[in-house]
A and B are shown apart, each in its own frame.
Chain A
Amino acid sequence: MATESTSTVNRPRRDLIRSAAGFVLVAFITVIGLMYANKTQPTLSSLDGAKLPGFPKPTASAVVDGEWMKNVETWMDDRIVGRQYWLSLHAKVSMSVLRVRELNNIAIDRPTSMQLEKPGALPANPKLGEYAAQLGDSIRAAGAVPLFVYIPRKEEVLSDLLPKAWNNTYLLARPSVIRDLRRGGNFLDLTPVLADPKTRLDNYYLTDHHWSPPGALRGLAAISDDLATLGVSLGSSPAYHDVQYKEFFGSYARRITAAGSPTGDDFIVPTPTTWHGQLCGKTGPCKSPFFVSIANSKDLYANRYAAYLGGDVGYQQLINDSPSAKGTIVVLKDSYGLPLVTYLAQKAHRVVAIDERKYKGEELRSLFRKIHPDAVVVAHNTRTLLGDSTFDPRLWVDAAAVIAAR
């Protein structure tokens, strides 16, 4: 009897204790929900620096077709408090606990920690060879030596580390791309240099899709040697010493987040005593081609690779007035060209770098005639040539049409 009455008296309190889990849930979702009202939220993505869209304004048509709701969901996904923490936890649990081998199309090879991307579709461009041939003609017409350079992606050089079930479209596309580039004239395939078993893991970043400075320097050495055999001499390279910056989490690591990466990359930059090859605009003083502020960014996910030349730009000119520098080189390049051009400028008197994806200038054939280069180096990787919607090889022969179509 006594037990029964105690039980009845204690019932409300006892039940409240039992509801603790419910109140934990309510507190959790309410606190996170209320944090959306915080007006000091970041406006840039912590992963790629892209501008985050603002809260969508509801319009009748956007509500009726559901577009507004989708935009609100995107806004909420982007702005959730501690987004970086959630993404990192997801990556850590997926990689370390669930032992997932591939996350967001990135696989991490064990034990090298090399991150590799699932190769996507690389549809052939039937006009690539024709445009390369015409570009070669334009270069020769300007009295310069053309050199078409094939830069392999790490998924080609390290294809044996890729999950075998992944269809390696780079290897499939490679023969036709090389055949097309050869139509431009002199051709250099950097694959043997970068695939050297002794150095191949050193030639690429672990967490980024680009080649590393040692890879770029090895590529530059091979290009210099080839140009020399074609009668174009460059100056000697200065002595470099390594300068280490903050840890680098490249584009692949950003996709799976730092917590999913066993390790970031050591961002070590071979640096001369003085950067003699300086970045010179049309006005103002020339400046260092290496942006220390970017390399030293406090942001964990900063794209430190953009410290070379400040990132992708359509047209840049580098001048080296050092007496040891020789030759004028035009380089048509993608982002692999950033360290390549930076280091090339330390041994060439003048380098003009053109990124076709962002170029807005005059026709290349008339530009070559103005610059009178000794050589024009066209250095690209397959992803740019076949898998980048912002790259159109027609720019090599008809820049005006491509620029107008952008």
Chain B
Amino acid sequence: MVFTSTVFLFAFLPATLAAYYLFPPRMRAIPLLILSSLFYGWGEPVLVVLIWVSSIVNYVLGRMLQGSEGPKRRVLLTVGIAIDLLPLLVFKYLNFVLVTFGMSALAKDIHLPLPIGVSFYTFMAISYLMDIYRRRNTGAPNLLLFAAYLTMFPHLVAGPIVRWEHVGPQLFSPRFNAGRFGYGAVRISTGLVKKSVLADSLSPVVDTMFATGAPTSMGAAWLAALLYSLQIYLDFSAYSDIAIGLAAMLGVDFEENFRYPYLSRSAREFWQRWHISLGSWFRDYVYIPLGGSRVRPALVWRNLLIVWALTGLWHGAAWTFICWGLYFGVLIGCERGRFGRLIGALPLPVQHIYGVLVAVLGWVIFRAVDLGQVGQYYKAMFGLAGLPLWDVHASFAFAQTAVVAAISVLLAFGIARKLMDGIERFMTHTNPTLAVPIEHHASDSSLTPGSLMEKLEVSVEESPVRRVTTSTVIAIMVALLLILGTAFVVSVTYSPFIYFRF
């Protein structure tokens, strides 16, 4: 089921909120599991079984890990990771492996559907087992809670890749939190508009430009790359907005997945702001176990290239994705040395331009059909293809998207950041700038989920008039955004999020 569809917005969501809050807090995992299965089964009626099996297997393995000692733990972890990776390997990578090793004829006969969200829930399952193995947490107390955590519909198909230690305890007894309930509505409505109004308005133009194969002019190549950079940010961050908003309305806190990535000043910073949950997953479960940065330089390079090749591969079974990952691996590796110091010494605006350029050039590799098209685009962008500077295709794309792109640029560069932070602070009594330490607090076993939220609360005293006025203005803003988003949802028949395919 797609968040920006009539069936989700006007049937599933109201029914889910009603059913969820009809149950007492300690039993809310029951409706959550049932409704999340319905949510997933709506798009994958057969493959929903896969995620149920994954829930059972990982829960059982987690219990076994918890109760075992010595080398057996390592064996259990290895078996668990192998089982978790199996569906990913079969459904997502089998064809790619066969083609890569010259068995294209065989690959043509294999038509396996890619289970939606398999890359996301597989990584959540692996992190669950590894955290128990590392004794960072004690795992789920029962299968119901674990299954509700793994299948929880807000994050199920496109993340964020949440961790048990953060979300799991919140599911024990999720309570209605009026401020977060309102804040969730703000995130849902803004996400709806970002996706359906902005990202989906850019989508047809970008698709047309990349579908024509080679770019027709230097301007067209740059426009295609820039517009896609905006589209993918708006699309994916909108999904995260809606996911975080839905969780908040259910009384559960998700960590932020985006922090204005186009404000970055380096490739490294970009990945601290883009798809944060994926970057931190690879850092915690691949990079650090490989030795991270605390090894000799050659091994740091090895670790970086492994992690970033895998990051690319996670996005899709194609050489373009692997190259995209390696592109960032090499850049981040270079930024660790003299090159990074050189960039750091540049004036701030130049550093920002570098940060945006890194991302935009990277998206060309990501979006291109194949490496040949990547080459064509880079040649065109840097004037090496003998193409005109500008042509009618560029003019039309520009005319078609100018206003949408201008609004998108302002949003991507944080024009509404203060407003959104202020709304969050007002509604949840928390300070968004303190959000980062949540995981540190969460790992403190003396804290209950309730006390964790209280610890982050900010004492804000406003006059009653200001409170009512602000709440009313926010409610009106949500209503207007919902009306606008609905108009675009109804008018566009089917428009899945880009990250659905991963």
Q: Which residues of A contact B (CB under 8 A)?
A: 3, 7, 10, 14-26, 28-30, 32-33, 36, 63-66, 69, 72-73, 76-77, 80, 83, 86-87, 89-91, 93-94, 97-102, 163-166
- Is A64 a contact partner of B45 (Cβ separation < 8 A)? yes
- Is A36 a contact partner of B395 (Cβ separation < 8 A)? no
**What residues of A have a CB within 8 angstroms of the CB of B44 in the complex?**
66
- Is A164 a contact partner of B478 (Cβ separation < 8 A)? no
- Is A86 a contact partner of B486 (Cβ separation < 8 A)? yes
Interface residue count for B (Cβ, 8 Å)?
Answer: 62
- Is B6 a contact partner of A164 (Cβ separation < 8 A)? no
- Is B179 a contact partner of A86 (Cβ separation < 8 A)? no
- Is B13 a contact partner of A22 (Cβ separation < 8 A)? no
Complexed CA–CA distance, A21 and B182 (Å): 5
Complexed CA–CA distance, A87 and B487 (Å): 6
| Distance to closest chain A CB from B261 (angstroms) | 24
Q: CB within 8 A of B392: which of A24, A76, A100, A164?
A: A164
| Distance to closest chain B CB from A311 (angstroms) | 27
- Is B11 a contact partner of A22 (Cβ separation < 8 A)? no
Identify the 6 closest CB pairs spanning chains A and B, nearest first: A165-B396, A15-B178, A19-B178, A22-B181, A90-B491, A25-B185
Q: CB within 8 A of A29: which of B13, B43, B477?
A: B13
Given contacts A20-B475, A21-B471, A99-B403, contact A32 B10 (CB under 8 A): yes
- Is B491 a contact partner of A86 (Cβ separation < 8 A)? yes
User: Closest A-chain residue to B468, C-beta based?
Assistant: A17
Given contacts A63-B45, A98-B201, contact A21 B10 (CB under 8 A): no
- Is A69 a contact partner of B181 (Cβ separation < 8 A)? no
- Is A24 a contact partner of B5 (Cβ separation < 8 A)? no
- Is A77 a contact partner of B493 (Cβ separation < 8 A)? yes
- Is A26 a contact partner of B17 (Cβ separation < 8 A)? yes
A-B contact list, 23 entries, CB within 8 Å? A15-B177, A15-B179, A18-B182, A18-B426, A21-B182, A21-B183, A21-B185, A21-B186, A22-B182, A29-B14, A32-B486, A33-B10, A66-B45, A73-B494, A80-B10, A80-B490, A87-B491, A93-B197, A93-B488, A99-B403, A100-B201, A100-B400, A165-B393
Complexed CA–CA distance, A94 and B197 (Å): 9
Given contacts A18-B179, A22-B181, A165-B393, contact A76 B189 (CB under 8 A): no
Complexed CA–CA distance, A166 and B399 (Å): 13
Q: Which residues of B contact A (CB under 8 A)?
A: 5-7, 9-11, 13-15, 17, 42-46, 177-179, 181-186, 188-189, 197, 201, 249, 392-393, 395-397, 399-400, 402-404, 426-427, 461, 464, 467-468, 471-472, 474-475, 477-479, 482-484, 486-488, 490-491, 493-494
Q: CB within 8 A of A73: which of B7, B181, B185?
A: B7
Q: CB within 8 A of A22: which of B185, B396, B402, B493?
A: B185
Complexed CA–CA distance, A19 and B180 (Å): 7
User: Closest B-chain residue to A102, C-beta based?
Assistant: B400
- Is A97 a contact partner of B478 (Cβ separation < 8 A)? no
Complexed CA–CA distance, A83 and B10 (Å): 14
Complexed CA–CA distance, A244 and B201 (Å): 38
- Is A164 a contact partner of B42 (Cβ separation < 8 A)? no
Complexed CA–CA distance, A16 and B5 (Å): 29
Given contacts A21-B182, A90-B487, contact A14 B189 (CB under 8 A): no
User: Closest B-chain residue to A29, C-beta based?
Assistant: B14
- Is B400 a contact partner of A101 (Cβ separation < 8 A)? yes
Identify the interface centre among B7, B404, B491: most chain A CB within 10 Å of its CB.
Answer: B491
| Distance to closest chain A CB from B249 (angstroms) | 6
Interface of B is mostly: helix
- Is B45 a contact partner of A165 (Cβ separation < 8 A)? no
Given contacts A7-B461, A28-B482, A32-B10, contact A19 B182 (CB under 8 A): yes
- Is B471 a contact partner of A87 (Cβ separation < 8 A)? no
Number of A-B contacts (CB under 8 A): 153
| Distance to closest chain A CB from B324 (angstroms) | 28
- Is A28 a contact partner of B403 (Cβ separation < 8 A)? no
Complexed CA–CA distance, A170 and B6 (Å): 37
**What residues of A have a CB within 8 angstroms of the CB of B493 in the complex?**
77
- Is A20 a contact partner of B486 (Cβ separation < 8 A)? no
**What residues of A have a CB within 8 angstroms of the CB of B490 in the complex?**
77, 80, 83, 86-87, 90
**What residues of B have a CB within 8 angstroms of the CB of A28 in the complex?**
479, 482
- Is A24 a contact partner of B42 (Cβ separation < 8 A)? no
Complexed CA–CA distance, A21 and B294 (Å): 48
**What residues of A have a CB within 8 angstroms of the CB of B474 in the complex?**
20-21
Complexed CA–CA distance, A101 and B392 (Å): 14
Complexed CA–CA distance, A313 and B235 (Å): 47
**What residues of B have a CB within 8 angstroms of the CB of A99 in the complex?**
402-403
| Distance to closest chain A CB from B198 (angstroms) | 9
**What residues of B have a CB within 8 angstroms of the CB of A14 in the complex?**
467
Identify the interface centre among A16, A22, A28, A164: most chain B CB within 10 Å of its CB.
Answer: A22
Instruction: Please name 16 further chain A to chain B contacts, defined as beta carbons within 8 Å, in addition to the given A3-B461, A18-B426, A22-B184, sorted by A numbering.
Output: A7-B461, A17-B468, A18-B467, A20-B182, A20-B471, A23-B182, A24-B475, A29-B14, A69-B42, A76-B7, A76-B10, A80-B10, A91-B491, A100-B400, A165-B395, A166-B396
- Is A98 a contact partner of B461 (Cβ separation < 8 A)? no
Given contacts A29-B9, A163-B396, contact A21 B478 (CB under 8 A): yes
- Is A165 a contact partner of B392 (Cβ separation < 8 A)? yes
**What residues of A have a CB within 8 angstroms of the CB of B484 in the complex?**
89, 93
Given contacts A22-B182, A165-B396, contact A90 B14 (CB under 8 A): no
- Is B42 a contact partner of A64 (Cβ separation < 8 A)? no
- Is B6 a contact partner of A77 (Cβ separation < 8 A)? yes
Complexed CA–CA distance, A163 and B395 (Å): 9
**What residues of B have a CB within 8 angstroms of the CB of A91 in the complex?**
491
**What residues of A have a CB within 8 angstroms of the CB of B177 in the complex?**
15
Q: CB within 8 A of B185: which of A10, A24, A90?
A: A24
| Distance to closest chain A CB from B368 (angstroms) | 21
- Is A22 a contact partner of B7 (Cβ separation < 8 A)? no
Given contacts A22-B249, A25-B482, A100-B404, contact A69 B201 (CB under 8 A): no
Complexed CA–CA distance, A24 and B46 (Å): 36
Given contacts A28-B479, A86-B487, contact A19 B7 (CB under 8 A): no
**What residues of B have a CB within 8 angstroms of the CB of A25 in the complex?**
185, 188-189, 249, 478, 482
**What residues of A have a CB within 8 angstroms of the CB of B488 in the complex?**
90, 93
Q: CB within 8 A of A80: which of B6, B201, B427?
A: B6
Q: CB within 8 A of B5: which of A10, A73, A83, A101?
A: A73
| Distance to closest chain A CB from B459 (angstroms) | 8
